[in-house]
Chains A and B, each alone.
Chain A
Amino acid sequence: MTKRQLFYVFNFLILALFIAAVVVDNNREWKGYQAEFNRLEVIRLKEAMNKAPDEAEKSALAVAVKLKKREPVAIKQILANDLGRADRCITCHPGFDPLANPTLTTPYEKAPYKTPEVAEHKSHNLTKLACTSCHMGQGLATTVEDAHGEVPHWEEPMLKGVYIQASCVRCHGDFKTLKGAETAKRGKELVDRLGCVGCHSFNGVGGEISVDLGDIADKPVSRIDWSHTGECKGAECGPLPRHQWNVKNWIEAHFTKDTLLLVPGDPEGHQCAPGAHCEPVPPSGMPPFSAELSKEDAAAITTYLMGQTSNKVPSNYYVYSAKEPEPKFANAVEHGKFVFSKYGCAGCHGEGGKEGRRNYNAKANDQTKMEEGREPTLVKVVGNFTRDELRDKIKKGVPASAVAKFKEDGPTPPLYMPKWEEKIKGAELEDLMTYLFSIAEKQEAW
């Protein structure tokens, strides 16, 4: 090519690319959605105008039609300064604009204009709360994918379905009595019943064996090992697709999968450097709950836990709950049963102490594999103790190093009996023991 031809070719190429940049910039997704909404509104207003009973209303609607026709498409946003949110959701969902459409309803059936009657929208001041304070997602974004937030590098995707109730937990101390937060309430009840606090604490209150769940919803995605979170083939689970890497899916996997498959650890020491001596790493110590929890149960616990965040709303936004009344008990056994649940003993020893849960590589009866290791089943073993021995056991606990192993060179069993002497004492301790002896199987006299 001659220089002159090159000159023209590249000048026009630059011009074409610049036009392409203009076109790309002008055809942003949100513009189409908003223009279509305005078009629908014009049609609706015109129909209303034609049906208008008197002239005054007719001319008023004619003005409305004119204004709507002239309305330019523009980014619209709700600035919730107290909560640090700038949400552009109403750019594509104009029906939810609390200023332009105070009723927050539109007759349209199709997304993104579908705006059904939602009691919660009416009871929450959207101009102060915006959208993402409850729904999550990426409020600053203006494309469907980015705004709804299931994209890499956005850690708070939209909470869909029942999971939105996690947001009730964040601001409502009284969520257990709140209409519409039933799933979160069920999650809280399950957490109490299963004895999660035996190992986990919530903001410092609870067990010491595993992580504090008081801010579990804030867990950074990059701290999570995603390698076994996805579909399983037999005993091998692959990773979740990248766009589904979020803390909600991570929490839920603990209740829908065997934790042994989710966090397999390195019990055989394969990760050890050649020639070096390393301690084998046990799999997740969390007992498997997936078999006994339904899908709804798993979703309920996940919902409750997704409400556990340290990003607290300002106190004037928080709804405090009334203090729960002190429970009263008919006798020592009833009180002991309450204590058993209060400290999450069921987490390891099973509900009512009826079946010890899995403790990898701990010694158990009739065991052939490391994963058949179990925590003691209280109804079977408590009968062997005198009251003083039992008191001593609860107070002092059994350190991890003293838990008997099934395979000597296998990993240290992840679960152990913590020292309870600082936490359970006085009448609580005595009544707990009374309860335990009441459920223990009777030992035959020698």
Chain B
Amino acid sequence: MADNNAPAAPNPAPQPAAAAPKLDMDALLKEATNNQVWKSMFRNWPWQDNARHRARHIVDNLWLHLHPTKVRPRALETTFTWGLGGLSFLLYLLLTVTGVLLMFYYRPTVELAYQDMKDLEFAVSFGIFLRNAHRWGAHGMVTIVILHMIRVFLTGSYKKPREFNWGVGVILLTLTLFLSFTGYLLPWDQLAIWAVTVGTNMAAATPLLGNEGPFANLLGMTISNDVRFVLLGGTTVGANTLLRFYVMHCVLVPLVTGALIMLHFWRVRKDTFSAAPREPNEEKLDVWPHLVVREYIAAAICIAFIFFVSVYFNAPLEEVANPNVTPNPSKAPWYFLGLQELLVYFDPWIAGVLLPGLIIKGLCAIPYLDTNPKGVGEYNWKDRPFANAVFMFGIAMWFILIAIGVYCRGPNYFWYWPWESWLIHKPAPPATWSFPIWAGLVSLAAYGGLGMALPRVLKGDIDWKKANWGFAVFALALGAFMGFKGIETWRIIVVDILLWLTFVFGFLYPQRHLKELDFTRYSVTQSLNLMMMGVLLKMGVRLGLDVKYILELPQFNLNI
């Protein structure tokens, strides 16, 4: 248009009389904002781009004021935080919104719950989109909260003065899992009740408090008064369980989680953000706009992703729940499948109660055990090799166990490769055997005693190269002996690899890095470490040698 006019009017000066009234956006904006109503809503109007106003943007805004007004440049780097903490909170909000909307359509009774799922899918406008967003958002939140924990660990952000907030974070992770788990039951389909049956059956194995746990008879626990009964409101997953889980999912746990999130944020602010300075005396940067825009973009990417998945992929829904028909296999929600995988190797009170309990307590204890002052607010592998290696080893183990549970377990919980059909009938696994009691006691004592003593007693630096070669010779000899006994090669390899991992992480690493620790910290750290490696060793002797129990004391329901 401008081209057409060009020859006729070389001077594009405005001709106010002839042209239609031009839309002056600036004037319009001024008109709209320069009045009492607007100014009463937005403080410090009109906005000016100077340091004072950028700061006021943060401190004068209810939603933004938990931020500091300035942060270190490192804190703005995507690859430092990956936006994970903020995204966890975003998903909490998204789940609250979609969850409240879903509550309008959902009735928590066994007769109606499943029907309401069908209504959401087939009759309610945006029903399936809401349900998908809630489902995928929940899985996303579990994933992101775990990743956030890994990030905080690797940047050393749990160290002094942030020890307490790390503990709050661990509790929040547990609550996130519990939120997701209580929601898992609500569709009231086969997937739901059997996953919850698997999950809550572990509660029955709690020592003292569960009717199937060790020493259950000391407190007179039966199936109808133990901790599982309290959780379910009955002896099986039924109408009461649905109501209990509904109330916990929609009211109790979100409230507690929300309160702890506030505490968590407040402490982040009070303890200051951990990012370490890039150079001494560096200038901090304004949170508005630098951090806010990054947070916004991260949130936008996350929401776009959840929307995309929710439009094109439907949340699973199986047959209506039937307590008389157990699917084979019955699996817990994916984030508990690591623990369910451990059920293959351990009794439920270890796999379902002791180990998760130790994991949570161990995580909470980390800031108090780790006295290494280095590597706060930065990814630093060099200065904290032991902490990073052991932590990442645990995380890798957790996810490998989950992957096995999700992809490699088929009917009868036998091993099926992902590409194998579950319709193939597999032979039963070989018969197992247990150590006699004396051998069990001796092995446990030897593992615990030597594992605790050796790294501390052996002074001086061990040459890792030599140690590993030495181990290789031992592994070969062991392998040859096992082969001589007629044990298949793959089993020998499994045993050798797991023994080697135990040797490295249970002995070499602690020997090099934990020597200087005081006695209390050393004992706690090394015993947690040995416990983790013990899980691996037990898996090794089961897979390689078909050992059921190292120590078997059936009279106390105590088998290890």
Query: B115 in the interface, Cβ–Cβ < 8 Å?
Result: yes
Complex Cα gap A2–B311 (Å) = 28
A75–B297 touching, CB < 8 Å: no
Interface residues in B409-457 by Cβ distance below 8 A to A read: 421, 423-431
Known: A220-B322, A226-B423. A21 touches B430 (CB 8 A): no
Task: Please tell me which stretch of B3-11, B79-87, B120-128, B510-518 contacts chain A, meaning at least 4 of its Cβ atoms lie within 8 angstroms of it.
Answer: B120-128
Residues of A within 8 A of B424 (CB): 227
Query: A383 in the interface, Cβ–Cβ < 8 Å?
Result: no
Interface residues in B303-330 by Cβ distance below 8 A to A read: 303-304, 307-308, 310-311, 317-319, 322, 325, 327-328
**Closest Cβ neighbor of B428 among chain A residues:** A273
A274–B430 touching, CB < 8 Å: yes
Known: A6-B297, A10-B300. A273 touches B122 (CB 8 A): no
Known: A75-B123, A155-B319. A273 touches B303 (CB 8 A): no
B307–A274 touching, CB < 8 Å: no
Residues of B within 8 A of A226 (CB): 423
Q: Which of B119, B125, B303, B328 contacts A222 (CB 8 A)?
A: B328
Complex Cα gap A20–B132 (Å) = 14
Residues of B within 8 A of A11 (CB): 300
Residues of B within 8 A of A227 (CB): 423-425
**Closest Cβ neighbor of B424 among chain A residues:** A227
Residues of A within 8 A of B162 (CB): none
A21–B122 touching, CB < 8 Å: no
Query: B72 in the interface, Cβ–Cβ < 8 Å?
Result: no
Query: A179 in the interface, Cβ–Cβ < 8 Å?
Result: no
Residues of A within 8 A of B497 (CB): none
Residues of B within 8 A of A239 (CB): 421, 423
Task: Give A328-354 as 1s and 0s: 1 = Cβ < 8 Å from B's Cβ atoms.
Answer: 000000000000000000000000000
B425–A88 touching, CB < 8 Å: no
Task: Please tell me which stretch of A109-117, A138-146, A410-418, A428-436 contacts chain B, meaning at least 4 of its Cβ atoms lie within 8 angstroms of it.
Answer: A138-146
Query: B301 in the interface, Cβ–Cβ < 8 Å?
Result: yes
A10–B297 touching, CB < 8 Å: yes
B129–A25 touching, CB < 8 Å: yes
Complex Cα gap A143–B122 (Å) = 8
Task: Please tell me which stretch of A264-272, A316-324, A367-375 contacts chain B, meaning at least 4 of its Cβ atoms lie within 8 angstroms of it.
Answer: A264-272
A140–B118 touching, CB < 8 Å: yes
A21–B304 touching, CB < 8 Å: no
For B190, B303, B310, the residue with the greatest tally of chain A CB atoms inside 10 Å of its CB is B303
A14–B307 touching, CB < 8 Å: yes
Query: B407 in the interface, Cβ–Cβ < 8 Å?
Result: no
Complex Cα gap A13–B308 (Å) = 9
Residues of B within 8 A of A225 (CB): 423
A21–B319 touching, CB < 8 Å: no
Known: A223-B325, A266-B425. A141 touches B126 (CB 8 A): no
Query: A385 in the interface, Cβ–Cβ < 8 Å?
Result: no
**Closest Cβ neighbor of B322 among chain A residues:** A220
B300–A271 touching, CB < 8 Å: no
Interface residues in B283-308 by Cβ distance below 8 A to A read: 293-294, 296-297, 300-301, 303-304, 307-308
Q: Which of B119, B297, B317 contacts A153 (CB 8 A)?
A: B317
Residues of A within 8 A of B327 (CB): 222
A141–B118 touching, CB < 8 Å: yes
A14–B304 touching, CB < 8 Å: yes
Task: Give B336-379 as 1s and 0s: 1 = Cβ < 8 Å from A's Cβ atoms.
Answer: 00000000000000000000000000000000000000000000
Complex Cα gap A270–B425 (Å) = 10
Known: A25-B126, A25-B129. A222 touches B325 (CB 8 A): yes
A140–B119 touching, CB < 8 Å: yes
Query: A160 in the interface, Cβ–Cβ < 8 Å?
Result: no
Query: A327 in the interface, Cβ–Cβ < 8 Å?
Result: no
B126–A21 touching, CB < 8 Å: yes
Residues of B within 8 A of A18 (CB): 307
- Provide 10 A-B residue pairs closer than 8 Å at the C-beta atoms, listed in order of the A residue: A6-B300, A7-B300, A10-B297, A11-B300, A146-B122, A153-B318, A270-B427, A272-B427, A273-B427, A276-B428
**Additional 18 contacts, C-beta under 8 A, given A14-B307, A140-B122:** A7-B300, A10-B300, A14-B300, A17-B307, A17-B308, A75-B123, A88-B123, A140-B119, A141-B118, A141-B121, A146-B122, A153-B189, A222-B190, A222-B327, A227-B425, A266-B425, A272-B428, A273-B430
Q: Which B residues have a C-beta under 8 Å from some C-beta of A? A: 115, 118-119, 121-123, 125-126, 129, 189-190, 293-294, 296-297, 300-301, 303-304, 307-308, 310-311, 317-319, 322, 325, 327-328, 421, 423-431
